[in-house]
Structure 1
Amino acid sequence: MAGDGSTGSDRPWTQVPRELADRMRPHLDAVADDMIAEIQARVREYDRPPDAPYSSALRTAVERVLHYFVERVADPDGEPESVTAFFHAIGRGEAGEGRSLDAMQAALRVGGMVAWRRIAADAVRLNVPPAALGAIGAALLAYQDELAAAAAAGHAQARAAVAGEMQRRRRRLLDMLLAEPPASPESIADQAAAAHWPVPRTVAAVALGRHHADARQPAFPPDVLADLNRPAPSLIIPDPDGPGRAKLIDRALAGCIAVVGPTVPVAEAGRSMEWARRTLALAERGVIDEPDGVIRSVEHMSTLILFQDEELLAALSRLRLAPLSHLRSSQQDRLAETLLAWLQSGRNANEVAMRLHVHPQTVRYRLRQLEDLFGDQLLDPDLRFDLEIVLRARHMTDRERIMPPARRTASGEVVTLRR
């Protein structure tokens, strides 16, 4: 932080006559008094009673600044005691108290003005040549910049440390909210207070998938708990159903595959995350259509129920679609598509034709085939319900089957309902 005489910023010091240091030393106490009085008059934050700790700290700082300045005039190439570390500590302290550096920087400017005024007034008496006077002015400005930079560095360092600690507390809070079993309300309240996170009435968990290569890094509102570095990147959104929150969430998550779990009480954040992750897994497989915006689990509850137990679903599919099993795959696809459309359209052949964009006569031909294959099963409401379940699932996994390999996840074997 302090110069060592080897940089360009030290040139003004080398041009100041060294003998001026001895002429300045007897006047340092008077200059310090003038500086303190002027600073307290011009900078409101320093206007304290003489016996206040803040006033004592101000005097200590002013005296050290003046002492170092004179010592540097006396020996610009030496290594006198540096006050840059002192000002670095001041910057850290101001940040720790939650204050900006505005008052300190104003005090530095006022102090420099007083010092220059005294030097200019005494220049004739001290027999200071004009060239040396100019060098002193340049040295004062460089010195002021040096101290301000040291304070700013300390302030930034402290703020970064505070921010890092706060981020660690918020990540710990996120872990507690998503823990299974959930942490106690008392533990959550204590950690939330430490993380400066007001506990909301409701939350929604967000599961994040891949991030588009050309998209910006997500930026979240300060009340959102986020950890993008965990194996399963996660968010907790407070009061997700509040005014304007949905649009805010959509903007923040643009460019990501993101699933918002259902809105739940704070203690059930883990359940919201479980649903969000299940929805995300189905979206990445292609079972759930991936829209341009954010996916919301509550809009896909029936699909989540349908794929809750895929082995059981596959067994039901084999049982109910057994009449199709001896046909070629292309025949199975056509008849399964027709049967699903028929069940979804209230068993209206003309509507089926419009849905499938085929001639009504073609639909009637296929329906006769289905009647021959399934017989009285098509008359039983319970069996029709089972058929619609397995045919819907079959249709969804058809999307998964044709998904490009790069779109698949690495979460394990995909269960399809082809037979």
Structure 2
Amino acid sequence: MTAVHDVERPLADIPREFAEVFRAHLGDIAEEMIEEIRASVPEYSRPSGTYEHTVRRAVEEALAGFVNRAGDRRVSRGRLLEVYRIIGGGEASEGRPLDSLQSALRTCARVAWRRLATESERLNLSRQHMCDIGEAILVYLDEIAAAAAEGYAEAQARAAGELELRRRRLLGLLVADPPPDARAVEDLSRSVGWTLPRTVACVALAPRRQGELPRPALPPDVLADLDRPDPCLVVPDPDGPGRQALLHPLLSDWIVAAGPAVKLGEGAVSLRLAGRALELTRRGVLGHDTVIRVADHVSTLMIFQDEALIRLMEQTRLAPLRGLRPGRRDRLAETLLAWLQSGYNANEAAARLHIHPQTVRYRLRQAVELFADQLKDPDGRFELEAALRAWALRTQRRDARL
């Protein structure tokens, strides 16, 4: 906490008689100040409740503190400033603007100056004394206003921190496996003002560089926890208007993988799939220059779900390629995969590969000869295509490193 330093800043040379006159009429002066505050500051116009208590305490503490310090220079201002820090914090907790309290203090200063003008002739105050007392009132007002502002800022920071902690706790509930009781989610969402959506999508993140990254600017309904070991977001109603684009500003600092939209209670599934896509992205299997969406890469995630199994499939299904030179082997595998993905259409395969159809047909004659048995069997064709796709993804990653 940044405290207002308790270093005496002497008030002006105020005659003790003036302080004693004020002390004798503190009750009347306080009531006059309170009435003027009610009339001029709308936030404090209510006649009862916390408003009444706050106004009365602020006025009485300010008056007593001023008179005590004017009458006795040995009086410390530490307690007074702490009281005003507490008052400022209370205003923040009540949701009232700090301007209202500062307006109330200025109103008190006006009333004090009027009383000064009224009593000055009876006390035979010189013009210099009048100026000194006026300056003392302004100095004193600045001190207690600064203390109130400090307490107000501290309370706001605490409230923001507590709200952020509850939002993170809510995110944790939404991605928990097994999911928590729905009532716990409802209660926590209500406490942070988060409207329960029909669906959510979880987003897995990985930093693109070492060091502290700036906090991304996100809509208030997006829950974020970037400090957990697996940084992530929860996006409500991800298929709504404009939701697809909200992740793009993160790309300069983060690798972003978005899981599928799921019902509440299934967030762990969305996060797990997003995390798997993020892992493949970091390994180079998937590109990372845009938002990786699980829905666009389902077959790749299926292929790499069990890599020991896919390696076994490659060894079995791609065995006919082992005896070929690397260049020829890669060209045949690439052409065969394009042909299978094109529905056995050589022209379309040629367009995919940006080569002449005759070249495709030449390579296919060799490939069909090597894989004839597998191509005749539906299960064989399915596994062959899966093995070729895994090979192609690994080849792309290898070529990207060269």
**Please, what TM-score do these two structures have when normalized by structure 2?**
0.89
What is the distance in 1 between the residues matched to 2:208 and 2:144?
44
Residue 4 (structure 1) aligned to one of 7, 20, 24: 7
What is the distance in 2 between the residues matched to 1:352 and 1:330?
19
Residue 271 of structure 1: aligned partner: 269
Deviations 1:342-388 (A, max 9, x none): 22334344444444344555444433332342344344444333222
Worse-matched range after superposition: 226-235 or 58-67: 58-67
Do the aligned partners of residues 103 and 14 (structure 1) sit closer, same or farther apart at CA in structure 2, a change above 3 Å counting? Answer: closer
Do the aligned partners of residues 37 and 194 (structure 1) sit closer, same or farther apart at CA in structure 2, a change above 3 Å counting? Answer: closer
Residue 83 of structure 1: aligned partner: 80
Contact persistence 1:89–1:154 (CA under 8 A): yes
Give the counterpart letter for 1:322 in structure 2.
A
Residue 204 of structure 2: aligned partner: 207
Residue 279 (structure 2) aligned to one of 246, 263, 281: 281
Structure 2 portions without partners, runs of 5+: none
What is the distance in 2 between the residues matched to 1:312 and 1:302?
15
Q: Is 2:383 the counterpart of 1:386?
A: yes
Give the counterpart letter for 2:334 in structure 1.
E
**Please, what TM-score do these two structures have when normalized by structure 1?**
0.86
Contact persistence 2:14–2:129 (CA under 8 A): yes
Contact persistence 2:17–2:123 (CA under 8 A): no
Give the counterpart letter for 2:268 in structure 1.
G
Do the aligned partners of residues 245 and 353 (structure 1) sit closer, same or farther apart at CA in structure 2, a change above 3 Å counting? Answer: closer
Q: Is 2:129 the counterpart of 1:126?
A: no
Q: Is 2:340 the counterpart of 1:356?
A: no
Residue 411 of structure 1: aligned partner: none
Residue 396 (structure 2) aligned to one of 382, 394, 399: 399
What is the distance in 2 between the residues matched to 1:296 and 1:194?
31
Residue 219 of structure 1: aligned partner: 217
Do the aligned partners of residues 128 and 307 (structure 1) sit closer, same or farther apart at CA in structure 2, a change above 3 Å counting? Answer: same
Worse-matched range after superposition: 328-337 or 257-266: 328-337
Residue 91 of structure 2: aligned partner: 94
What is the distance in 2 between the residues matched to 1:171 and 1:52?
34
The DSSP-based 3-state class of the residue aligned with 1:171 is: helix
Do the aligned partners of residues 112 and 2 (structure 1) sit closer, same or farther apart at CA in structure 2, a change above 3 Å counting? Answer: farther
The DSSP-based 3-state class of the residue aligned with 2:277 is: helix
Give the counterpart letter for 1:189 in structure 2.
E
Do the aligned partners of residues 241 and 150 (structure 1) sit closer, same or farther apart at CA in structure 2, a change above 3 Å counting? Answer: same
* Structure 1 residue 18 displacement after superposition: 5.0
Residue 24 of structure 2: aligned partner: 26
Residue 320 of structure 1: aligned partner: 317
Structure 1 portions without partners, runs of 5+: 406-419
What is the distance in 2 between the residues matched to 1:322 and 1:117?
101
* Structure 1 residue 270 displacement after superposition: 0.7
Contact persistence 2:168–2:224 (CA under 8 A): yes
Residue pairs, 1:11-410, within 5 angstroms:
13-17=11-15, 20-49=18-47, 54-55=51-52, 57-76=54-73, 78-79=75-76, 82-211=79-208, 216-251=214-249, 255-292=253-290, 294-404=291-401
What is the distance in 2 between the residues matched to 1:93 and 1:164?
17
Contact persistence 1:323–1:374 (CA under 8 A): yes
Residue 408 of structure 1: aligned partner: none
Contact persistence 2:259–2:293 (CA under 8 A): yes
Give the counterpart letter for 1:241 in structure 2.
D
The DSSP-based 3-state class of the residue aligned with 2:122 is: coil
Share of identical aligned residues, percent?
49
Do the aligned partners of residues 332 and 247 (structure 1) sit closer, same or farther apart at CA in structure 2, a change above 3 Å counting? Answer: same
What is the distance in 2 between the residues matched to 1:62 and 1:360?
91
